[in-house]
Amino acid sequence: MAKEITTRAEDYSQWYTDLVVKAQLADYSSVRGCMVIRPRGYAIWEKMHDALDAMFKETGHVNAYFPLFIPKSYLSREAEHVEGFAKECAVVTHYRLKTSPEGGSVVVDEDAKLEEELIVRPTSETIIWNTYKSWVQSYRDLPILVNQWANVVRWEMRTRLFLRTAEFLWQEGHTAHATREEAEEEAQKMVNVYATFAREWLAMPVIVGVKTESERFAGAVNTYCIEALMQDGKALQAGTSHFLGQNFAKAFDVKYADINGKLEYVWASSWGVSTRLIGGLIMTHSDDNGLVLPPRLASVHVVIVPIYKTEEERSQIRACAETLLQELKAEGIVAKFDDRDNLKPGFKFAEHEMHGIPLRIAIGPRDLANGTVELARRDTLAKSSEPLVGLAARIPALLETMQHDMYQKALKFVEANIRKVDTYEEFKRVLDEDGGFISAHWDGTPETEALIKEETKATIRCIPLDSVPEEGVCVRTGKPSHRRVLFARAY
Amino acid sequence: MAKEITTRAEDYSQWYTDLVVKAQLADYSSVRGCMVIRPRGYAIWEKMHDALDAMFKETGHVNAYFPLFIPKSYLSREAEHVEGFAKECAVVTHYRLKTSPEGGSVVVDEDAKLEEELIVRPTSETIIWNTYKSWVQSYRDLPILVNQWANVVRWEMRTRLFLRTAEFLWQEGHTAHATREEAEEEAQKMVNVYATFAREWLAMPVIVGVKTESERFAGAVNTYCIEALMQDGKALQAGTSHFLGQNFAKAFDVKYADINGKLEYVWASSWGVSTRLIGGLIMTHSDDNGLVLPPRLASVHVVIVPIYKTEEERSQIRACAETLLQELKAEGIVAKFDDRDNLKPGFKFAEHEMHGIPLRIAIGPRDLANGTVELARRDTLAKSSEPLVGLAARIPALLETMQHDMYQKALKFVEANIRKVDTYEEFKRVLDEDGGFISAHWDGTPETEALIKEETKATIRCIPLDSVPEEGVCVRTGKPSHRRVLFARAY
């Protein structure tokens, strides 16, 4: 590569942005806060989409599509929702442009003003529950288990590629149920689907927990979440699943007749993950050489680089590579032969490392003579000389090993960075010196939570679902506490 | 079904809308001109997406994602494009709402007015070519073969579900090339991909042609298209592929250095199909009983309906159905057992016909005794008694036969409805009495084309790519003509 990226030690935040841009995953567009997701980045999203979509369908969900626009008045229907979402939104006020009187450019046609402004969806609870009203009459119409893949817009003031952008891509599940129990079970089921997906596909360890009242989704009764830990010790909320109670059913008057004909409000859940996961993936695994991609999310698993001086060597290596490509294809492995003649092998190596291709095979004249290749793993950067015979057949297992190793490495990092802390001094010291998750007692009040946030910039990431009751005293107020919660500074 | 739909003979337009709503494919939303694509409709779009996406990737394309919003000034950059698209658009003028002074509702925050308005993309040439400027330096960066799956908005005044909605889903390919020949070849290649897709997946015959100047995409040098014929004799433009010349490269200053270092403008193509295809699919095959779906686009291929009086019969039939379900699954066939106990078989039959499930298997006590089932084809409505033994193994071939038969039936209809006409009297008579495509001579001028459109509401759908030179005189003006073109009234 012509230019390298900033190292993590030097400036973690700049490293991240450099990597996203240099690995050609995404780039800022000329539209404020909106990103262009480049083919290499979008290919990762496609893999995520396909894996998640299959998991949603296995759990009985179907996809649908609802309008991009939400009438402004809908946002006001659910009291907490409006507080949470009707703020930084893109507002459509007109539906026509016209040629400017001077010509050459276009101006907004003031005659084409909408009677009611339309909001570009920041999330779709309101428009979807307004629709469910006409879908639900009786208990036989329930449950509704619908998911939507869509773009949403939140006019964020400070944006970062993938992590926080004005427009982003996501999926949002919106389910309707006859009973409270069923809706709560759904919300919990889906946060566990997210956890499984993060662990098995992203090789990203996550803690499954429930949010405190202050951190809840606007309009939810309970918000479940998966929280991940980035290499710089900051936490990342990677997915949320909400039990919405009857809040949206009441706001949009969605009732069903039960088996006895009695009308009841419908119970709801909603759950979503977004292109933010790509940011989490990068910050979990990548290094100063560029992207490190779990093999299950890679579109290209193997790149073969020829090393030659003469045209004769080149054609001999090409013949060898072509056979290997065919053998790899037969194993279900996607491999590319990088035969570009205007670039040195060293440049190619650096470029493929930047792009995160899991395995690199280099073949030179000596390899040909010895019947070997040089195999390099992207995750460990380890190189080894491998016999060519039977190589292709060994690759699938090696990729599985890498997927497993990446998860284990990340898991060790998270485990080493959850610290039990019992005094506020230590709390602040750990935050500043080590980062990571802090497991501490808290008195359960939003006031103390806000105070800690103000004083330390740490928030309660979640109350882990597997946490056990433990008597103690709040790290900040000394008041009694019955269980530890996880604090961290977060993205 | 409780209520039936209007018949085609009665009111074709109403039949279409009734069908879309009753088959639960889509519905109008509370947002003007925007539709809700319901799970049964979206499942068809998913099948189309997967098939097309695979075809795009086989032809070397990758996916990416560009911003939803386009700065207003971009639309003015390409002179013809602005005329064609900067009209009925959704315009974002503000980025914040605030609680109204009276409370309880939200109002637009006038302090949050955008310096430059943003347009919700009606198509993405401008924002994409503005991005390509930073992607292209040398001939080595070309070609760019990118596709995007996205939602777009055109503020149509008269909307119809799937056929013409304010927001719709589509894919838009945007490619960049070093030479004119390569870009033209790409545009032609992709219109042929669309034709293959329409024929093989939608079982929809299409005519591949090129548009006249008046019907061209705004900003294109040439627009290729596939044109289909609906059962009411009206044509439907089902997909377009444009050779854009250097128009957008010039508008956004996108140049590449050729092998000698000389700077040249880049050549472009763009191509798209949308959820409109679902409308075309419906109007090609469906009948007065509801949706008729080509098996390759069906998510559920077979429904099994039990016919019983006693609980004992019911449980015997269920055992038989469960074995059959397993056998079908092993054949790769998706089958459902409709065991709902609150509905009569006749109601279920009508409902499954409405939903377009390709095959229905009914099993009653007499079938159990005889080792048979009743098999009904949705396309022909033909019923037959079939031996249960080996049934599952025969289903895949039967579905292939149905796919083939549906195409052949539609093809015969189109072939019977292309009429050579040589006088204007006959032209008008055929249009009014028969509809369909009219193959006629035209003098090649936009003026005559406009005159014919004004007088008859017929437009030139295309000049078929396989048309042969033929001397004649224009059906309207009597001026010389060198080839026939296809006229029709169109959706």
Q: Where are the domains of chain B?
A: 12-285, 300-400, 418-488
Confidence of residue B155 (pLDDT cuts 50, 70, 90): very high
Q: Which of B39, B96, B151 sits opposite A64 (nearest CB)?
A: B39
| Among the ranges given (A357-361, B154-158, B302-306), the one the predictor scored with the smallest mean pLDDT | B154-158
Number of Cβ within 10 Å of residue A378's Cβ equals 27
Q: Model confidence over B242-259: pLDDT tens digits?
A: 999 999 999 999 999 999
In this predicted structure, what is the pLDDT of residue B1? 46
Look at residues A176, A124, A123 and name the one whose alpha carbon lies nearest to residue A145.
A176
Confidence of residue B2 (pLDDT cuts 50, 70, 90): very low
Look at residues B383, B379, B381 and name the one whose alpha carbon lies nearest to residue B406.
B379
Task: Spell out a b/e string for B278-296, using b for 16 or more CB atoms within 10 Å of the CB, else e.
Answer: bbbbbbbbbbebbbbbbbb
CA distance linking residue B2 with residue B351, whole number of Å: 9
Chain A interface disruption, residue of B52, B89, B113, most A CBs within 10 A: B89
Mean pLDDT of chain A: 96
Whether B187 shows a pLDDT value over 90: the answer reads: yes
Whether A83 shows a pLDDT value over 80: the answer reads: no
Residues in chain A within 8 Å Cβ distance of B98? 87
Q: Which of A29, A94, A98 sits opposite B67 (nearest CB)?
A: A29
Whether A13 shows a pLDDT value over 70: the answer reads: yes
Q: A266, A252 in Cβ contact below 8 A?
A: no
Confidence of residue A3 (pLDDT cuts 50, 70, 90): low
Secondary element (H or E) of residue A65: none
Confidence of residue A101 (pLDDT cuts 50, 70, 90): confident
In this predicted structure, what is the pLDDT of residue A85? 76
Sign (positive or negative) of CA dihedral A288, A289, A290, A293: negative
Whether residues B95 and A167 touch (CB distance < 8 A) is answered with: no
Chain A interface disruption, residue of B27, B28, B31, most A CBs within 10 A: B31
Enumerate the β-bridge partners of residue B372.
Answer: B387
Q: DSSP assignment of B413-480, as one string?
A: HHHHTEEE--SHHHHHHHHHHT-SEEEEE--S-HHHHHHHHHHHS-EEEEEETT-----EE-TTT--E
Q: What percentage of chain A carries pLDDT values higher than 90?
A: 93
Query: For residue B79, what are the CA distances in angstroms to B247, B251, B444?
Result: 9, 9, 24
CA distance linking residue A201 with residue B16, whole number of Å: 43
Query: In the predicted model, what is the mean pLDDT of residues A244-261?
Result: 97
Whether residues B31 and A71 touch (CB distance < 8 A) is answered with: yes
Residue B326 Cα, gap to closest chain A Cα (Å): 17
Q: Classify domain B12-285 at the CATH class level.
A: alpha beta
- Cis bond leading into A122, ω under 30°? no
CA distance linking residue A273 with residue A156, whole number of Å: 17
Number of Cβ within 10 Å of residue A444's Cβ equals 17
Q: Model confidence over B397-424: pLDDT tens digits?
A: 999 999 999 999 999 999 999 999 999 9
In this predicted structure, what is the pLDDT of residue B3? 60
Q: Model confidence over A261-271: pLDDT tens digits?
A: 999 999 999 99
| Among the ranges given (A77-91, B10-24, B373-387), the one the predictor scored with the smallest mean pLDDT | A77-91
Tokens describing residue B485: 């073109």
Q: Model confidence over A318-338: pLDDT tens digits?
A: 999 999 999 999 999 999 999
CA distance linking residue B58 with residue B172, whole number of Å: 16
Residue B221 Cα, gap to closest chain A Cα (Å): 21
**CATH number for region A418-488:** 3.30.110.30
Query: In the predicted model, what is the mean pLDDT of residues B200-213?
Result: 98
Residue A236 Cα, gap to closest chain B Cα (Å): 24
Query: In the predicted model, what is the mean pLDDT of residues A442-455?
Result: 97
Single-letter amino acid, residue A192: N
In this predicted structure, what is the pLDDT of residue B84? 78
Number of Cβ within 10 Å of residue B468's Cβ equals 7
Whether B82 shows a pLDDT value over 60: the answer reads: yes
Whether residues B70 and A31 touch (CB distance < 8 A) is answered with: yes
* Residue B20, phi then psi, degrees to nearest 5: -60, -40
DSSP state of A87: S
Whether residues B106 and A131 touch (CB distance < 8 A) is answered with: no
Helix (H, G, I), strand (E, B) or coil at A404: helix
Q: Model confidence over B278-301: pLDDT tens digits?
A: 999 999 999 999 999 999 999 999
Residues in chain A within 8 Å Cβ distance of B251? none
Q: Which of A42, A68, A155 sits opposite B151 (nearest CB)?
A: A68
Chain A interface disruption, residue of B22, B82, B106, B299, most A CBs within 10 A: B106
Whether residues A96 and B91 touch (CB distance < 8 A) is answered with: yes
Q: DSSP assignment of A204-263, as one string?
A: ---EEEE--GGGS-TT-SEEEEEEEE-TTS-EEEEEEEEEEETHHHHHTT-EEE-TTS-E
Q: Classify domain A299-398 at the CATH class level.
A: alpha beta
Site of tokens 């559920």? B300
Chain B interface disruption, residue of A68, A161, A171, most B CBs within 10 A: A68
Sign (positive or negative) of CA dihedral B213, B218, B222, B226: negative
CA distance linking residue B3 with residue B14, whole number of Å: 14
Confidence of residue A280 (pLDDT cuts 50, 70, 90): very high
Query: In the predicted model, what is the mean pLDDT of residues A308-324?
Result: 96
pTM over 0.90: yes
Whether residues A76 and B104 touch (CB distance < 8 A) is answered with: yes
CA distance linking residue B24 with residue A134, whole number of Å: 12
Query: In the predicted model, what is the mean pLDDT of residues A219-229?
Result: 96
In this predicted structure, what is the pLDDT of residue B263? 98
CA distance linking residue A2 with residue A23, whole number of Å: 13
Q: Classify domain B300-400 at the CATH class level.
A: alpha beta
Cα angle: A204, vertex A22, B126; to 5 degrees: 105
Q: Classify domain A24-70+127-285 at the CATH class level.
A: alpha beta
Which residues, other chains included, contact B316 with Cβ-Cβ below 8 Å and sequence gap of 6+?
B365, B368
What's the half-sphere exposure (Cβ side, CA atoms, 13 Å) at A302? 26
| Among the ranges given (A2-16, B180-194, B257-271, B339-353), the one the predictor scored with the smallest mean pLDDT | A2-16
